[in-house]
C-alpha cells in the first residue's frame, strides 16, 4: 500500500497494536516450525552443493592471477569501491532532500518492479549495492584463469546461484512488496505466509519444496487427465492404457506412447483443449499410453533393463496381441525416448521388427555435451546421489525437482517462495504447475545406470551401453524416425538431440525444431496457433547450419507429424474398443499408478 507519490502510508496507534497481536500469532506458528524441522529426515549433504574443491581451485587460480597481475585486481577493487561509495553518497543526498544527479537507469529486472526501488532512498541504495555486488562477483569469476571449461561453467553457475539467493527481494526487511502487504493486512500476510511455509515443510518431512500450484483445484481423472479409456494391462512396472476411439475407423497400425517415468504421463492430457492424447484419437488412431509405477524402496534393484523388458517390450507385445498386428508405431518422450532408442538397438540385434516407426519427443541419445546440467553431472554430485540411493533405495522426487528448479531458480524457487511465504498468497490454480509438482521417484539401480553410463560416460553414443547381455549402440537405431525437439529446451537441448539423431542408422530421418521449451514446444495444439516449427531434410551439417538453412513453418508440428505417421500406419479398419477377451478392463483411465504420490 503506497501513496500516489510511492511513499509509505502513515501508521496509527490502533494499527500498530493490531500488528503486535498478529506478531504473537507468528510466535505460535514458529513453535510449529521448530517441531517440523526437528523431525526432518536427513539426506546426503553432498546433494546440497558442489565439492569445496571447486571453490578451492577457483580461489587458487584467482590469487595466482592476482599475484602475477596485481594491477588487474586493484583495478577491479577500485571500480567496486568507487561504485559503492557513489551509491552511498546518492542515498545521503536523497535523504537530505537534495536533488540527486541523474545517472544511467538501473537495469530492467521484474524482481524490482515496485516504485519504491526507485523513489525511496533506502530501497534504491539496497538495490544499487546488490547489483554492484553482483557485477563484482561476475567480473571476478570471469577473470579466473587456469580452470578447465567444466570447472569454469560450474563456477559461473554456482556463483550466480549465490547472487540470486542473496537478492534483497528474498528478505522481508528489504522487500517493499512484502512490507507493504504486511502493513496493509496488519501482519496477517506474514501469518498466512508462515502457515504456507510450515504446511510445505510438513508435506515433505521437513524438506523445503515450494508448492507451485493450488493442489485442491485439481483431481486426476476429474478435471485433468480426462480422455476416456481403460487400463487393459498391468504389471509391476506399468499400466497400459488403451484410449477409446473417436472415429468410426482407425489406422491398422496402433501407436504406443512411452512418457518419461520421471514425471506423470498426464502432461499430454491436462485438459481437452491441449491434450495430445485426445487429439491423436481424433485423427483416427488406436492409441496406447504407458503409465509408469511410482516406485518405492522395494524397487531399489530395478534397473534400465526392467523398464525395457517389463515396460517397453511387454507393452509392445500386449498391444500387438490386442490389435492383432505384427508392428506398432512407437513414441518416446524425454528419458523414455532415450530408452526407446536403447530398445530399438536391442530389437535390431534380436532381429525383431515389432516397431515400424519411432517418434522421439525431446530425447537425448548423445550426452557428449551436458549443457545446463553440467554443474550437476560431475562426480561430486553423482557420488552424492549414489550414496543417497544406496542408503534409501531410491532417488526421491524432491531431489530431482529441486535440481530442475534451480536451473530456473528465480521463476521456480525464489519468486513462488516470496509470494507464498512473505506475501501469504495461495499458489495459483495452474494445471501445468500442478503437474510439475506431482513428480515420481527413481529406483536406485536405474538412477545410477542412467547417470553414470549414459550421462557421464556417454556409452550409448560411443563404445556401447552394456545391458541385458547386449552392447547397445545408437547407430543401430534404423527404423524410420521423426525427432521433435524444442528451441529453448533447457533439459534436452535441441542441438544435442540433433547430434544423437545424426548418429542413428536410419535411412529415413525427419528432424523438427519447435519453438518454445521442453513442455510448451510439445504440448502445442494446432488450435492455439501459437508456436511454429523449423524443418530441414539435410542432416549432414552441424546444428547451426541445419537451423540457418531450415524452413520456418507457422503453427504446431502436430499435423505435420500426423501426415508422416499416416504413411506408416496402414489401411483403415473398424475402430477398436479398449481391450479384448484376454485383456478385460482393469479400470478406467487414467488408472491407479498415476495417482500414487512420490515419497518425500
Angle at 36 between CA 30 and CA 41, to 5 degrees: 150
Q: What are phi and psi of 231, to 5 degrees?
A: -75, 120
Query: What is the C-alpha to C-alpha distance for residues 91 and 97, in angstroms, rounded to an integer?
Result: 10
Q: From CA 245, how far away is CA 99, in angstroms rounded?
A: 72
Helix (H, G, I), strand (E, B) or coil at 318: helix
Which of 283, 293, 282 shows the shortest CA–CA distance to 227?
282
Say how many residues make up the chain. 600
Burial class (CB in 10 A: 0-12, 13-18, 19+), 182: buried
CB 62 within 8 A of CB 144: yes
- Would residue 334 show up in a list of annotated catalytic residues for this protein? yes
* Cross-strand pairs, 443: 394
* CB proximity list for 303: less than 8 A, separation 6 or greater: 443, 445, 446, 449
Q: Which of 323, 334, 455, 486 is catalytic?
A: 334
Whether residue 455 has a cis bond before it, omega within 30° of 0: no
Cα 204 to chain centroid, rounded: 19
Half-sphere exposure of 506 (CA within 13 A, CB side): 24
As a 3-state breakdown, the chain gives helix, strand, coil percent values, each rounded to 5, of: 50, 10, 35
Report the C-alpha gap between 568 and 549 in whole angstroms. Answer: 27
What lies within 8 Å, CB to CB, of 345 at 6+ separation is: 460, 470, 472, 473, 474, 476, 477
Number of other residues whose CB lies within 10 A of the CB of residue 445: 20
**Residue 253 DSSP class:** S
Which residues are known catalytic residues?
Answer: 334
Amino acid at each position: 500500500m503506497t501513496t500516489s507519490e510511492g511513499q509509505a502510508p502513515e501508521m496509527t496507534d490502533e494499527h500498530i497494536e493490531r500488528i503486535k497481536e498478529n506478531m504473537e500469532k507468528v510466535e505460535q506458528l514458529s513453535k510449529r516450525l521448530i517441531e517440523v524441522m526437528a523431525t526432518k529426515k536427513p539426506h546426503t549433504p553432498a546433494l546440497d552443493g558442489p565439492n569445496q574443491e571447486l571453490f578451492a581451485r577457483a580461489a587458487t587460480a584467482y590469487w595466482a592471477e592476482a599475484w602475477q597481475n596485481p594491477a588487474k585486481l586493484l583495478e577491479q577493487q577500485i571500480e567496486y569501491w568507487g561504485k559503492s561509495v557513489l551509491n552511498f553518497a546518492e542515498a545521503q543526498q536523497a535523504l537530505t532532500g537534495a536533488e540527486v544527479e541523474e545517472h544511467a537507469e538501473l537495469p530492467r529486472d521484474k524482481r524490482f518492479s515496485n516504485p519504491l526501488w526507485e523513489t525511496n532512498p533506502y530501497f534504491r541504495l539496497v538495490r544499487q549495492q546488490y547489483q554492484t555486488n553482483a557485477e563484482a562477483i561476475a567480473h571476478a569469476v570471469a577473470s579466473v584463469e587456469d580452470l578447465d571449461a567444466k570447472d569454469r561453467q560450474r563456477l559461473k553457475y554456482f556463483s550466480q546461484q549465490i547472487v540470486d539467493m542473496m537478492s534483497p527481494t528474498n528478505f522481508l526487511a528489504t522487500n517493499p512488496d512484502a512490507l507493504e502487504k504486511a502493513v496493509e493486512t496488519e501482519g496477517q500476510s506474514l501469518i498466512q505466509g508462515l502457515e504456507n511455509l510450515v504446511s510445505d515443510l510438513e508435506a515433505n518431512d521437513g524438506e523445503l519444496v515450494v508448492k507451485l500450484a493450488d493442489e485442491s483445484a485439481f483431481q486426476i481423472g476429474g478435471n485433468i487427465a480426462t480422455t476416456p479409456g481403460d487400463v487393459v494391462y498391468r504389471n509391476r512396472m506399468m499400466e497400459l492404457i488403451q484410449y477409446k476411439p473417436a472415429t468410426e475407423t482407425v489406422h491398422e497400425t496402433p501407436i504406443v506412447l512411452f512418457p518419461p517415468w520421471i514425471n506423470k504421463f498426464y502432461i499430454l492430457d491436462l485438459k481437452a483443449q491441449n491434450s495430445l492424447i485426445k487429439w491423436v484419437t481424433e485423427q483416427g488412431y488406436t492409441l496406447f499410453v504407458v503409465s509408469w509405477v511410482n516406485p518405492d524402496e522395494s524397487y531399489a534393484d530395478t534397473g534400465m533393463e526392467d523398464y525395457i523388458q517389463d515396460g517397453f517390450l511387454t507393452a509392445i507385445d500386449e498391444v500387438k496381441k490386442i490389435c492383432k498386428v505384427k508392428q506398432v508405431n512407437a513414441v518416446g518422450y524425454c528419458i523414455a525416448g532415450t530408452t526407446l532408442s536403447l530398445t530399438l538397438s536391442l530389437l535390431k540385434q534380436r532381429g525383431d521388427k515389432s516397431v515400424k516407426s519411432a517418434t522421439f519427443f525431446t530425447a537425448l541419445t548423445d550426452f557428449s555435451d551436458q549443457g545446463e546440467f553440467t554443474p550437476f553431472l560431475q562426480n561430486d554430485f553423482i557420488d552424492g546421489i549414489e550414496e543417497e540411493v544406496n542408503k534409501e533405495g531410491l532417488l526421491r522426487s524432491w531431489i530431482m525437482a529441486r535440481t530442475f528448479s534451480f536451473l530456473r531458480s528465480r521463476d521456480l524457487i525464489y519468486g513462488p517462495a516470496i509470494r507464498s511465504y512473505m506475501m501469504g498468497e495461495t499458489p495459483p490454480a495452474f494445471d501445468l504447475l500442478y503437474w510439475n509438482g506431482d513428480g515420481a521417484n527413481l529406483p536406485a539401480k536405474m538412477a545410477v545406470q542412467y547417470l553414470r553410463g549414459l550421462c557421464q560416460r556417454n556409452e550409448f553414443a560411443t563404445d556401447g551401453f552394456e545391458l541385458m547381455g547386449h552392447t547397445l549402440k545408437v547407430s543401430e537405431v534404423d527404423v524410420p524416425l521423426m525427432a521433435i525437439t524444442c528451441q529453448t529446451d533447457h533439459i534436452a537441448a535441441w542441438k544435442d538431440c540433433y547430434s544423437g539423431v545424426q548418429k542413428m542408422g536410419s535411412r529415413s530421418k525427419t528432424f523438427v525444431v519447435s519453438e518454445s521449451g521442453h513442455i510448451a514446444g510439445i504440448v502445442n495444439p494446432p488450435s492455439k496457433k501459437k508456436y511454429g516449427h523449423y524443418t530441414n531434410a539435410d542432416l549432414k551439417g552441424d546444428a547451426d547450419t541445419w537451423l540457418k538453412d531450415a524452413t520456418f513453418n507457422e503453427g504446431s508440428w502436430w499435423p505435420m507429424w500426423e501426415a508422416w505417421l499416416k504413411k506408416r500406419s496402414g489401411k483403415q479398419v473398424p475402430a477398436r474398443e479398449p481391450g479384448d477377451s484376454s485383456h478385460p478392463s482393469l479400470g478406467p483411465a487414467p488408472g491407479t499408478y498415476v495417482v500414487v504420490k512420490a515419497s518425500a
